[in-house]
Structure 1
Amino acid sequence: MLTLYLLRSTNRVAIAVGAVVALAFGWIPLAAGIGLELSDAVTMLRFAAIGLVIGLAFVLDDPAAVTTATLPTPRHVLVALRVAPAAVLATVVWTVAWLGCRLALDAESRALLPYGGLLLELLALLALTFWLAGTRWGDETVRGGVLAAPALVLLLIAAALLPDAAAVFPSPGTDRWDGSRWVWAAVLATGLAGLAWTGREPAPRSRPAQSSSAASRERIRS
């Protein structure tokens, strides 16, 4: 029952749009008969990952969050039940997009198109986005995805403006490629740690202490 509720309450439209965008970046060049260079294929896959992650930024949004907060199910379980299927879906959809870009390359370049290194970027962005989306922003009525999606875009713009010596989106085979994988691994670890932190149970709100006069009146009534 809980799993079915989580499925029904998930923003499936945003997820579907993100998946369509990712698949479009992966397969339109091949469908249009456009041959890609290796750098072009990598760029297309990065845009596919960004579109997919933005669509999945709304996975943790729950329109009945106030009600589900009273359920006996721990918060971290609710978060995991939403995040885990989303991560699997993202991996599958992006892999299909990767296959489309790979087929659009010439035979010599296909073997040079990295899979694991680019998948690491996707998973790191996904973990970071889930962390932002799962963070309580003080107002329970504010959906985390609405804030996480633009925040992710701003972070990506800032990352794209980094100098070449600190680039996080280098082309495969360049001197910066291997070093940037460590950066993405650190982003992934940070995002997962932040996501685990957001899954903690909220501290119970303490009732305000009664004044001495109010306490005296309570004793008299009793």
Structure 2
Amino acid sequence: MPRLSGELIVAVCRTLPLGLVGAAGATGLLIAGLSRATGEAGEWLALPLLRAAVLAFAMGLVFLLDDPARHTTATVPTPRPVRIGIRVALVVPAAAAWWTVALLLVPGELRPPVGDITLEAGAALALAVAGAAAAVRFSEAVRPGPRVASGLLTSAVVALLFWPERWALFVPVRDGRWGVAHERWVVVLGVAVLVGGVCVVEPLRRRAWGVGRGR
């Protein structure tokens, strides 16, 4: 069984879009590093730059579940939640390391509260993966990443421009709504995890349809 698990992990690793995720991560780090070159403007630019860095990395994570062999692997004994769980488990340490570097690129005196901004980052990245899981669950596309990336970018722009002020999420550090906004981020994170967990399950109707075809 351990040998089988090792073979499965290696097989999943080979299908990961490491190039896309790596490029998105590198772009995010470049954006975060700009806070060191903003001079006096760095005090109010550091937070938006960190948020932009998270968005850049999230744009790469939406490709995490792209799998050209998706319809072939659907027939293997290993259930889809396990295969997706392996993908997520493989990327979590890399995402944690990336976020640590992104934070360190921001000068300490300009860095926003680490716990709160980490909550924002975690929620955004969880939303990206949940969006990818939803696309896999409700479509037959083997590469849903581009459409999910487009949706994520559009949602971010809409949230920045049209999100109601009374439910504000993106607020400055010195804004009196900072604490309340991060209570909302906890809800966003919880919803993302819940949606992702629901969407990794193989639809029963599709399984039944496959059984019917086999007969």
- The reply to whether TM is greater than 0.5 is yes
Q: Deviations over 1:169-206 (max 9, x none)?
A: 10113111111111111111111111111111231234
**Partner residue of 1:100 out of 105, 113, 121:** 105
Corresponding residue SS for 1:8: helix
Percent sequence identity is 30
Provide structure 2 residue ranges, at least 5 long, that are not aligned to the other structure. Answer: 1-6
Provide structure 1 residue ranges, at least 5 long, that are not aligned to the other structure. Answer: 104-108, 209-222
Structure 1 position 154 matched with structure 2 position 154: yes
CA drift at 1:28: 3.7
Contact map agreement 1:165 1:176 (CA 8 A) in 2:
no
How many residue pairs align between the two structures? 201
**Distance between the aligned counterparts of 1:14 and 1:94, measured in 2?**
17
- Looking at CA atoms only, which structure, 1 or 2, has the larger radius of gyration? 1
Structure with the largest fraction of helix: 2
Cα RMSD after superposing both structures: 2.0
Aligned equivalent of 2:116: 117
Contact map agreement 2:28 2:52 (CA 8 A) in 1:
yes
> Which segments of structure 1 move beyond 6 Å, counting only runs of 4 or more?
none
CA drift at 1:24: 0.3
Aligned equivalent of 2:181: 180
CA drift at 1:138: 4.7
Aligned equivalent of 1:165: 166
Structure 1 position 20 matched with structure 2 position 26: yes
Contact map agreement 2:35 2:49 (CA 8 A) in 1:
no
- TM-score w.r.t. length of structure 1: 0.82
Aligned equivalent of 1:10: 16
Corresponding residue SS for 1:169: coil
Aligned equivalent of 2:130: 131
Contact map agreement 1:26 1:99 (CA 8 A) in 2:
no
Structure 1 position 199 matched with structure 2 position 204: no
Contact map agreement 1:38 1:113 (CA 8 A) in 2:
no
